[in-house]
Amino acid sequence: MNGAVSALRARRAAGHGYIAFSFYSSSSTTTAAASEAWDGRFRLHKPRGQHLLTNPRVLDAIARHAALRPGDAVLEVGPGTGNLTARLLASPAASVAAVEIDPRMVEAVTARAGALGLAHKLTVISGDAVAVEFPEFDVCVANIPYGISSPLIAKLLFGRHRFRTATLLLQKEFARRLVATPGDGEYNRLAANVRLVADVRLLMDVSKRDFVPVPKVDSSLVEIRPRDAVPAVDLGEWLAFTRACFGQKNKTLGAIFKQKRMVLELFRRSRRRPEGHDRTGSDDGVCVGALDDDNDEGDHQGKDDDRGAGPGDFAEEEVVAFKDRIVGALESSELAGKRPAKLSNDELLRLLRLFNERDVWFH
């Protein structure tokens, strides 16, 4: 880019309110309000989740909730034109790494940081947040594109980086599912998987009217705080187990695990498992792409669960003996009559352990 164009861009950026405001000053509202407005300089792409958060009070509140400390390295996903980024840069945090897929937004947020005189604190990573490697970070703060909520949370929580908190703006319904607790009508696989390793809480609801363009859905701000101590369970095994449980979460565990199709599937998986290979504690190569593919009623209800469940290349007696092991685990758990969505993770972990002790494996 030549100097003249660059200067012009900077002027345009400043003209559109890319000016410094004080994150911590309450008198900044008017200035900030002007600076958040969307100037329509290019078409926003809804399938990319490009709904810009333009309410300065909400943006301030997100930054406040993130409670950034001096020296923090912040990760932001989908900075867009930088409305939230500007606050993160103005905070006591040492640096912000922002991952953005749209080159136009990369340019916009870069120009914004420059206009604020805070470019030295910002690194923009151009690419898909689900695919790129994240840098080390202490805190993640983001109004993310809602389409990647589940894989992104999986990547944050089961990826290789340790961090203090993730403060994320999410679609309201997704946020409700995320913070649900056992026994809630909407308790689900996503919540169970996330709760295995983190505490989650709802911070505030945000109206769809605070975005440009106005989306169809409302939003909620959620804090995810990874636990210091997580249960000693093989992650792949746990994820496969919760998939089996929550695939039919309104049936009892007894009904789920005694179905012939389930018995045969677990029989195959358990036989496939290499002899004497203890998987506990190793989560290498585990695919954690989706945490919330529970299938609720959908596919399974009212259908013949036994269809296509022929014995194949093994003896019927072997399968019968295997089913006895499943029944044994269920009986000693005393959970056979319970529905998965009512169980705490401790109870689910206990049942998984009882299965594994009897050489019934899910992964």
φ/ψ of residue 333, rounded to 5: -75, -25
Q: Is 75 in the site for ligand SAH (CB under 6 A)?
A: no
- The least CB distance from residue 137 to ligand SAH, in Å, is 15
Residue 83 near residue 59 (C-beta atoms within 8 A)? yes
φ/ψ of residue 172, rounded to 5: -55, -45
φ/ψ of residue 48, rounded to 5: -85, 5
Q: Is 87 in the site for ligand SAH (CB under 6 A)?
A: no
Nearest residue to ligand SAH, scored by beta-carbon proximity: 78
Q: Is 180 in the site for ligand SAH (CB under 6 A)?
A: no
φ/ψ of residue 317, rounded to 5: -60, -35
> Judged by CB, which is closer to ligand SAH: 128, or 346?
128
Q: Of the listed pieces 11-19, 96-104, 308-316, 343-351, which binds ligand SAH according to CB under 6 A? A: 96-104
Alpha helices in the chain (DSSP H): 3-15, 29-36, 56-66, 83-90, 103-115, 149-158, 172-179, 189-197, 235-246, 253-258, 260-272, 316-333, 345-357
- The least CB distance from residue 94 to ligand SAH, in Å, is 20
- The least CB distance from residue 24 to ligand SAH, in Å, is 20
Cα gap 78→27, rounded to integer Å: 28
Among positions 13, 21, 23, 52, the unique one binding ligand SAH when judged by CB under 6 A: 52
3 state DSSP class of 253: helix
Q: Is 32 in the site for ligand SAH (CB under 6 A)?
A: no
Among positions 58, 86, 97, 105, the unique one binding ligand SAH when judged by CB under 6 A: 105
Pattern 230-269, binding to ligand SAH, x per CB under 6 A? Answer: ----------------------------------------
Count residues near ligand SAH (CB under 6 A).
23
Whether residue 151 has a cis bond before it, omega within 30° of 0? no
Q: Of the listed pieces 140-148, 231-239, 263-271, 304-312, which binds ligand SAH according to CB under 6 A? A: 140-148
Q: 156 exposed, middle or buried (CB, 10 Å; 0-12, 13-18, 19+)?
A: buried
Q: Which residue, among 339, 302, 320, has the nearest Cα to 264 in the 3D structure?
A: 320
- The least CB distance from residue 240 to ligand SAH, in Å, is 26
3 state DSSP class of 300: coil
Cα gap 171→199, rounded to integer Å: 19
Q: Is 53 in the site for ligand SAH (CB under 6 A)?
A: yes
Among positions 78, 182, 247, 340, the unique one binding ligand SAH when judged by CB under 6 A: 78
Q: Is 129 in the site for ligand SAH (CB under 6 A)?
A: yes
> Which residues of the shown chain bind ligand SAH in the complex (CB under 6 A)?
48-53, 77-80, 83-84, 99-102, 105, 128-130, 143, 145, 148
